[in-house]
C-alpha cells in the first residue's frame, strides 16, 4: 500500500506518493534527489543518515516517510545560507574533522542537534550525545572539537 504525504524539506513544501514502507532516507535520496544524507547501515546503527525533524535529530533510515505529514525536515543541504556555511560546517573545515567524509553530513546534523539542545557542557557530554554517529576514519577528537568551537 502507498499514500500521500506533505512535508517541508529545507523550507520547501513537497507532496509525494510513497509506499508505506518508504523511509525518510529513501524519500530524501530517491524522490527528492537530496543525496547528502548517507545510507551506511540502513538499520539505525551508524548515524550517517541523521537529519532534523521538527528540530530533533533522527535516524532517517528508521523513520517512515508516511508518518511525517506536516513535518519540517532539515538536511545537510539546508544548513548553509546561500554561500555562507553554517558555523558548524565551517568549524568542521577549520578543525579538519573528516577524512573520507561519508559520515560527515550525519555528524554535522547530530552536532547541530547537540548544540541546539544545549548538550555541549563538556567534551564528554558532546561525545555522549554524538555516540550514535560512527566514523570509520576515527576523527572523533576533531569532530568533538568542531562542535565545541561552534557552541562556545
> Which positions touch ligand FES (CB under 6 A)?
39-42, 44-49, 59, 61
Name the residue number minimizing CB distance to ligand FES.
61
At a CB cut-off of 8 Å and minimum separation 6, what does 36 contact?
Answer: 75, 76, 77, 105
Q: Which is nearer to ligand FES, 94 or 128 (by Cβ)?
A: 128
Q: Which is nearer to ligand FES, 41 or 80 (by Cβ)?
A: 41
Q: In whole angstroms, what is the distance from residue 48 CA to residue 45 CA? A: 9
Q: Which is nearer to ligand FES, 95 or 107 (by Cβ)?
A: 107
Region of residue 140 (phi > 0: left; psi between -120 and 50: alpha; otherwise: beta): alpha
> Considering the complex, what minimum distance in angstroms separates the CB of residue 100 from ligand FES?
15
Q: Buried b / exposed e across 70-87, counting CB within 10 Å, b at 16+?
A: ebebbbbbbbeeeeeebe
Helix (H) or strand (E) holding 109, with range, is helix 104-116
Q: Which is nearer to ligand FES, 74 or 95 (by Cβ)?
A: 74
> Considering the complex, what minimum distance in angstroms separates the CB of residue 121 from ligand FES?
26
Contact between 60 and 30 (Cβ < 8 Å): no
> Considering the complex, what minimum distance in angstroms separates the CB of residue 47 from ligand FES?
5
> Considering the complex, what minimum distance in angstroms separates the CB of residue 50 from ligand FES?
7
Amino acid at each position: 500500500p502507498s499514500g500521500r504525504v506533505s512535508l517541508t524539506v529545507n523550507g520547501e513544501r513537497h507532496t509525494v506518493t510513497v509506499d508505506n514502507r518508504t523511509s525518510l532516507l529513501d524519500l530524501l535520496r530517491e524522490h527528492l534527489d537530496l543525496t547528502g544524507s548517507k545510507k551506511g547501515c540502513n538499520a539505525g546503527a551508524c548515524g550517517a543518515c541523521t537529519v532534523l525533524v521538527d528540530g530533533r535529530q533522527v535516524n532517517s533510515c528508521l523513520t517512515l516517510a508516511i508518518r511525517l505529514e506536516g513535518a519540517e525536515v532539515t538536511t545537510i543541504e539546508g544548513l548553509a545560507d546561500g554561500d555562507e556555511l553554517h558555523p558548524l560546517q565551517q568549524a568542521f573545515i577549520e578543525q579538519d574533522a573528516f577524512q573520507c567524509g561519508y559520515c560527515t553530513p550525519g555528524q554535522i546534523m547530530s552536532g547541530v542537534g547537540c548544540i541546539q539542545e544545549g548538550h555541549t557542557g563538556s567534551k564528554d557530554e558532546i561525545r555522549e550525545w554524538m555516540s550514535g554517529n560512527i566514523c570509520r576514519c576515527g576523527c572523533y577528537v576533531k569532530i568533538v572539537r568542531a562542535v565545541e568551537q561552534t557552541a562556545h
